[in-house]
Amino acid sequence: MVIKLTGKILGISAYYHDSAAALLVDGKIVAAAHEERFTREKHTSEFPHYAIRYCLEEGGVKINDLDCVAFYDKPYLKFERLLETYHAFTPQGLTSFISAIPVWIKEKLFMRKMLKDSIAKLGNGKVTFVFPEHHLSHAASAFYPSPFEEAAILTVDGVGEWATTTIGSGQDNSIKILRELDFPHSVGLLYSAFTYYCGFKVNSGEYKLMGLAPYGHTESKQTKLFKQIILNHLVDVREDGSILLNMEYFNYATGLTMCRNEKWMELFGIPRRKQESELDQPYMDMALAIQQVTEEILYLLAKTAKKLTGSKNLVMAGGVALNCVANGKLLKKNIFENIWIQPAAGDAGGALGAAYAAWHIGQNRPRHVSQGNDAMEGAYLGPEYGTDDIKRTARKFNAPNTHYEDNGELCKVTADLLEHGLVVGWFQGRMEYGPRALGNRSILGNPCMPDTQKKLNLKIKYREGFRPFAPAVLEEDIAEYFALDHPSPYMLLVAQVHEKRIKPLPVDYHQLKMYERLYHLRSDVPSITHIDFSARIQSVNKRTNERFWNLINAFKQKTGYGLVVNTSFNVRGEPIVCTPEDAYRCFMRTEMDYLIMGDFIFDKKAQPQISETDDWKEKFKLD
């Protein structure tokens, strides 16, 4: 049955991780946001009450105005996969089965009623629900907002209902799935198994594993041995990029852990690393080995997508599409002329994709394709707070500040602070959708100072010292600093720092210990140059974010460098800040030097202390 829709569609992702909501009106994105930003619970799986409420308010839409609500996957298909998997692996997995099945029988089999009851708390009105498949939601999130009229579509993640990888074709307003790889064989779950074994948290620590990989020794016998073990014992990689996992070594299908630790210990000769324990070279080499294997699989999948579609364009989504190192290398292969990656490529982006699927599939309506521009508006799709909101926060905390009438002057003052090595919280405009802060909820630093990276990690973000930071660079200046001739607006491409920026290295550089390599002066922009001389790049376009562009340009006028360090405005374990109050609390609980919110500058030295009784994780209550 085709449901004829006239204009307003709410998309939802929930109940696994990274719950979110998105609103389309007449096929255009009005608003999109992660639930975690409102509840302050990172990667929350809860129903996105607050994100939905925001989206509806932003669009001036009530529940009874909605044509439909689109949920990002099909619960019955997922339940079918669960039952068939337990049956296939019986008698293994009894503990997991006993844990999972009651929840499904009690709640998730009645998803439509759960959704209906939750929506009813937000307003009155009869709502129609539609349920696109998980990977169709990913594919729709990648293709429909892309700048292409036609494209090959590659979606790669852990698992949806059955699919773990799909290759599709997008034409005008339609999507066709051409190939599918099914559970338990999954590139995303393979990578997550190594995330788990290297001592990081699954579904959030994959970034850490990717950041750790460059510390591995590319030419070492250990790295090469680890890679061969992976390819000989864990995964069979086929020529078309499809894979078969040896499930004797994995536990995620029916167990409560990702892999069988004893068997991995026998294979690799090292035990599973305990969280927060010291990182030794074998784990760095292991991270590099699985990163290399993942890159090779994505390359083969892209070649197959090219062969099947003949398109010059590729769009990507799914959690594995957030592997920006692999994306950068894929771009260099020149299989496709153009690559576009959904900035909210993970499950949060499924909310937007579900709404797009509901709007286009079977509706025979034209897409909104802007010449050369995507429909994401820089991913600035979240809440915006004005002068009055900032003033209220300042009054609440009795926080001294300086107001600037002229934005140009504000940018000059901020650039001067950065030039002197001070760290600045930068809170402007609409909040970003997706896992990256792109200049509206950011912490900024001077890329030219060698200690910026260390200061940001240890004194402000309170996270592992090995993790790299990204540059935000004027789009027109990319080639001055990086071996990249392609915009990277969503911080989803890694490229090498330009060779003219690299400083001479000691002969024994690659034999140095981890932090000796990390703190060695590698370039004239050391705080954004990773130890393999790469950087995860965000290019800033004046049309998309004029304020951020103006700030970076002001920094360029002072220093000659058209880039700054840009990291998300949060501390370890917390979501990116959403409100002025979130920003002020984070500012006061770190060693940030200044906070710029809108046209106001807050100086740390002038601020009163926040009472320790203030609840940093205070939850908002529904009315």
Rounded Cα–Cα distance for residues 302 and 322 (Å): 15
Beta 563-568 vs 441-445: how paired, if at all? Answer: antiparallel
d(CA 139, CA 155): 6
CB 458 within 8 A of CB 571: no
Cβ-Cβ contacts under 8 Å for 588 (sequence gap 6 or more): 397, 604, 607, 609, 610
pLDDT single digits (tens) 315-350: 999 999 999 999 999 999 999 999 999 999 999 999
Q: Measured between alpha carbons, how far is 459 from 457 in angstroms, rounded to an integer?
A: 6
Report the CATH number that the domain containing residue 513 is assigned in CATH.
3.90.870.20
What number is the average pLDDT over the span 394-416?
A: 97
Q: Where are the alpha helices (DSSP H) in 144-216?
A: 187-197, 206-212
Q: Which helix (H) or strand (E) holds 600?
A: strand 600-603
Contact 462, 515 (CB under 8 A): no
Specify the DSSP class assigned to residue 432: B
pLDDT in tens, 480-493: 999 999 999 999 99
Asked whether residue 582 is assigned to any structural domain, the reply reads yes
Q: What is the pLDDT of residues 607-618, one digit of tens each?
A: 887 754 444 334
Sequence-ordered strand ranges (E) for 483-590 = 493-496, 534-540, 563-568
Which is it for strands 150-156 and 243-245: parallel, antiparallel or unpaired?
Answer: unpaired
pLDDT by residue (tens digit) across 418-469?
999 999 999 999 999 999 999 999 999 999 999 998 889 888 888 888 888 9
Instruction: Decide if 427 is inside a domain.
Output: yes
- Report d(CA 584, CA 582) in Å as an integer: 6
pLDDT over 70 percentage in the chain: 90
* Average pLDDT along the chain: 91
Residue listed under structure tokens 């293709």: 143
- The answer to whether position 538 is within a domain reads yes
- Any domain includes 517: yes
CA distances from 138 to 43, 190, 361, 506, 569 (A): 18, 19, 14, 46, 27
Question: Which of the 8 DSSP states describes residue 26?
Answer: T
Owner of token pair 């969503």: 490
Q: How many domains does the chain have?
A: 1
Q: How many CB atoms lie within 10 A of CB 349?
A: 35
Residue 102 has pLDDT above 80, yes or no: no
- For residue 104, name the pLDDT band (cuts at 50, 70, 90): low
3-class DSSP state of 87: helix
The residue written with tokens 């900032």 in the block is 390
pLDDT at 248: 95
pLDDT for position 6: 63
For 455-459, the CB contacts below 8 A with 24+ separation are 455/423, 455/591, 456/423, 456/527, 456/565, 456/567, 459/590, 459/591
The mean pLDDT of 247-261, rounded to a whole number, is: 90
The confidence score (pLDDT) of residue 586 equals: 96
For residue 581, tell me if it sits in a domain: yes
Q: Is the dihedral of CA 556, 534, 454, 465 positive or negative?
A: positive
Mean pLDDT computed over 375-397? 97
The pair of structure tokens assigned to 3 is: 């449901």
220-229, 257-266, 308-317, 605-614: least confident range: 605-614
- Domain hosting residue 496, numbered range: 387-606
Start-to-end CA span in the chain (Å)? 37
Q: Which of 199, 224, 203, 225 is nearest to 212 (CA)?
A: 199
CA 575, CA 48: separation in Å to the nearest integer? 15
Mean pLDDT of all residues in 379-394: 98
Mutual angle of helices 580-588 and 387-396, in 10-degree steps: 40
Please, are residues 372 and 147 in contact by the beta-carbon 8 Å criterion? Answer: yes
Distance, CA of 307 to chain centre: 28
Per-residue pLDDT, 272? 97
How confident is the model over 365-386, as a mean pLDDT?
86
Helix axes 221-229, 281-309, angle to 10 degrees: 50
Per-residue pLDDT reduced to its tens digit, 113-170: 889 999 999 998 889 999 999 999 999 999 999 999 999 999 999 999 889 999 999 9
DSSP-assigned letter for residue 304: H
Q: In the numeric block, which tokens belong to residue 499? A: 């060779």
Kindly tell me if the per-residue pLDDT of 111 is higher than 90. Answer: no
Residue 591: Cβ within 10 Å count: 13
Task: Note the pLDDT of residue 515.
Answer: 79
In the predicted model, is pLDDT for residue 571 greater than 80? Answer: yes
Answer whether 565's CB lies under 8 Å from 536's CB.
no
The pair of structure tokens assigned to 80 is 């079918």
Q: Which amino acid is at 169?
A: S
For residue 250, list its beta bridge partners.
Answer: 259
**Backbone torsion region of residue 593, taken as left when φ is above 0, otherwise alpha when ψ lies between -120 and 50, otherwise beta:** alpha
Place of tokens 């790469």: 534
pLDDT exceeds 90 at position 505: no
Q: Is residue 287 part of a domain?
A: no
* pLDDT exceeds cutoff 60 at 62: yes
pLDDT the model gives residue 97: 65
Q: What is the pLDDT of residues 516-570, one digit of tens each?
A: 888 888 999 999 999 999 999 999 999 999 999 999 999 999 999 999 999 999 9
The DSSP secondary-structure symbol of 490 reads: T
Considering only CA atoms, which of 250, 254, 292, 313 is closest in space to residue 84?
Answer: 254
Lowest mean pLDDT among 83-92, 226-235, 375-384: 83-92
Residue 598 lies in a domain: yes
pLDDT in tens, 176-187: 999 999 999 999
In a domain, 501, yes or no: yes
